[in-house]
Amino acid sequence: MSAAATGEGAGSASGVRSGSARVAIVGAGPSGLFAAQALLARCSDPGLVIDVYDRLPTPYGLLRYGVAPDHTAIKRVAETLAKVFENRAVRFVGMVELGRDVTRAQLRDSYDAVVYALGASGDAHLGVPGEDLVGCLSAREFVAWYDGHPDAAPVVLSGVSSAMVIGVGNVAVDVARVLAKPVEALEETDIPNPVLGSLRKGEIEEVWVVGRRGPAQTAFTPVELRELVNLDGVAVTLEGVGPDELEPVEGADRRTQQVLQALRDAAAREVTDPRVRLRFLFWHRVWSVAGHGQVERVRLERTRPDGAHLAGTEQWRDVEVQLLLRAIGYRGQPLPGLPFDPVGGVMPNVEGRMTDEHGAAQPGEYVVGWIKRGATGVIGTNKSDAAETVAHLVSDLSSRSSSEVEAGRPLEPADLPDLLAAQGKPVADFAAWLRIDAAERAEGQSRGRIRTKIATWQRLTDLVVDGEQHP
Ligand code: NAP
């Protein structure tokens, strides 16, 4: 019987019983690892076990597969989070998917607490005709491709001279920047080689960024926007907006004022012989997408404010584009057998304590990150978010009596990672990730780069299973 069940010892500042806590975290992205970090900080107990599951053989989630390759400073947060795995209490259990390889019931039986850190793996749709044409994809799919996600479909950029991004948030900024940036400036990043090859073949001349509302209602952050509009060889135009809309707005917050300033500065800058034209178009929404099997044209409708809502004006504008990216928000996805709020795209919870759809508590189950609060905030937001959830988790564990703990799960809970390995399921432990890491670094360094992402399941799995790569 584990010390958890005996309730022996006190050994932690937080009051969690010595050896008491076995915690599963499902999702090894920033929110899951911030949760592990918070747990370690609150519980110095030598018996603590934290198993961090992920469907991928690689940890770091959005840091690896969502943050743009040229945002190296943000990506370095992974180096801090890697320290979590230096603690013997923490195991990485990669290539194990909830719903496919393990069930919710297994997790509940094997651990005192389960923290779901599932992120937001879906995205919002425009709901317009033609949205399913080839060349019309979500920013999430485009980001997954350039970030080397093994599930990503290749994106063909040859023949694309005009691309349009719908949405005026930071994801829109990321994808517009990758499209507008000189390829040479991306060569030093960890972008997979086939992606670089495709970007090199690109012939992008103009990138549209379309907002359904005005510049004062954008969701950009000033630093990210300035980085985009100040790219070398990029000329910026602002369309659909009256000059007074760019003036400082009385009572607006600092972010909005700085965004307006950045747009004013960008529009005023002369760029001779621009390589790419970056065309912001405000007060327009997508009406339809047209083309013969492939995106050729987008029909936009001019909008106007109507109280707190938007109204159409029946003024149309057709723009020829060969690539349409919708950057209108990520959404959490439901998992079979787990509660889900389809409106918010989150798992229902109260400050991270999971509930069912009717608000009934689900003791021992918690949520963190985007699946808890929706797809908002920067990477660092997940730290305080995880701290809130973990504070409740630790408090709940501390207040559970040993008999409750025993009733909650079998006296000899299965060691799930061992059980999976015994069943012949290939599991990527942290050593396997380090092999992938080393292979990526070696591949990058052979081409004068720090790292080149390995982007296929085959090569990743080979490195997990036997450490060898088969050509
Ligand atoms: P976001 O900030 O919520 O922006 C979504 C944009 O899509 C908004 O401009 C929204 O306009 C628009 N939109 C929504 N539905 C639309 C529709 N049907 N038609 C047209 N436009 C529509 O979301 P995000 O850009 O996906 O970013 C998610 C989070 O990640 C944000 O917190 C962001 O700051 C963060 N992030 C940060 C970085 C960074 O720091 N470098 C990079 C990427 C993402 P309305 O306001 O009119 O709804």
pLDDT at residue 76 above 60?
Answer: yes
How many angstroms separate the CA atoms of 267 and 207, rounded? 15
E-assigned strands of 269-308? 276-281, 284-290, 297-306
- Which residue owns the Cα nearest ligand 1 atom 26? 329
Pairing, β 309-320 against β 297-306: antiparallel
- pLDDT tens sequence across 151-205: 999 999 999 999 999 999 999 999 999 999 999 999 999 999 999 999 998 899 9
Predicted confidence band at 15 (pLDDT cuts at 50, 70, 90)?
very low
DSSP per-residue letters across 183-222: HHHHTTS---HHHHHHHHH----EEEEE-SS-GGG----H
- Which residue owns the Cα nearest ligand 1 atom 18? 126
Query: Can you give the pTM of this predicted structure?
Result: 0.92
The phi and psi torsions of 421 (rounded to 5 degrees) equal -65, -40
Q: What percent of the chain has pLDDT above 90?
A: 86
pLDDT at residue 409 above 60?
Answer: no
The phi and psi torsions of 11 (rounded to 5 degrees) equal 30, 15
Could you tell me if the CB of 167 is within 6 A of ligand 1? yes
pLDDT at residue 10 above 50?
Answer: no
Give the CA distances from residue 436 to residues 86, 186, 366, 388, 444, in Å, rounded to whole numbers and listed in that order: 17, 22, 30, 33, 12
How many angstroms separate the CA atoms of 374 and 22, rounded? 27
Q: What is the mean pLDDT of residues 53-76?
A: 96
Mutation test of ligand 1: which of 126, 212, 256, 306 has the most ligand atoms closer than 8 Å to its C-beta?
Answer: 212
Residues 6+ apart with CB under 8 A from 269: 235, 236
Instruction: Tell me what pLDDT residue 405 has.
Output: 55
pLDDT at residue 139 above 80?
Answer: yes
Instruction: Tell me what pLDDT residue 9 has.
Output: 30
Q: What is the mean pLDDT of residues 285-291?
A: 98
Q: Which has the closest alpha carbon to 112: 33, 19, 174?
A: 19
Could you tell me if the CB of 327 is within 6 A of ligand 1? yes
- pLDDT tens sequence across 356-387: 999 999 999 999 999 999 999 999 999 999 99
Predicted confidence band at 102 (pLDDT cuts at 50, 70, 90)?
very high
Side chain identity at residue 257, one-letter code? Q
Give the CA distances from residue 192 to residues 79, 300, 449, in Å, rounded to whole numbers and listed in that order: 20, 34, 11
pLDDT at residue 234 above 70?
Answer: yes
- Which residue owns the Cα nearest ligand 1 atom 2? 169
Could you tell me if the CB of 77 is within 6 A of ligand 1? no
Give the CA distances from residue 191 to residues 67, 143, 145, 199, 452, in Å, rounded to whole numbers and listed in that order: 12, 11, 9, 10, 6
Predicted confidence band at 401 (pLDDT cuts at 50, 70, 90)?
low
Q: What is the mean pLDDT of residues 243-264?
A: 94
Instruction: Tell me what pLDDT residue 404 has.
Output: 58
Could you tell me if the CB of 171 is within 6 A of ligand 1? yes
Could you tell me if the CB of 328 is within 6 A of ligand 1? yes
* Cβ proximity of 371 and 332 under 8 Å: yes
How many angstroms separate the CA atoms of 309 and 123, rounded? 22
Mutation test of ligand 1: which of 31, 63, 280, 328 has the most ligand atoms closer than 8 Å to its C-beta?
Answer: 328
Residue 278 has a CB neighbour count (10 Å cut-off) of 24
Residues 6+ apart with CB under 8 A from 386: 31, 34, 35, 37, 38, 368, 369
Q: What percent of the chain has pLDDT above 70?
A: 92
SS3 at position 388: helix
Q: What is the mean pLDDT of the chain?
A: 91
Could you tell me if the CB of 170 is within 6 A of ligand 1? yes
Tell which atom from ligand 1 comes closest to the C-alpha of 376: 32
**Cα 172 to middle of ligand 1, angstroms:** 7
Pairing, β 297-306 against β 284-290: antiparallel
**Cα 315 to middle of ligand 1, angstroms:** 25
Predicted confidence band at 12 (pLDDT cuts at 50, 70, 90)?
very low
Beta partners for residue 24, in sequence order? 51, 114
Instruction: Tell me what pLDDT residue 11 has.
Output: 32
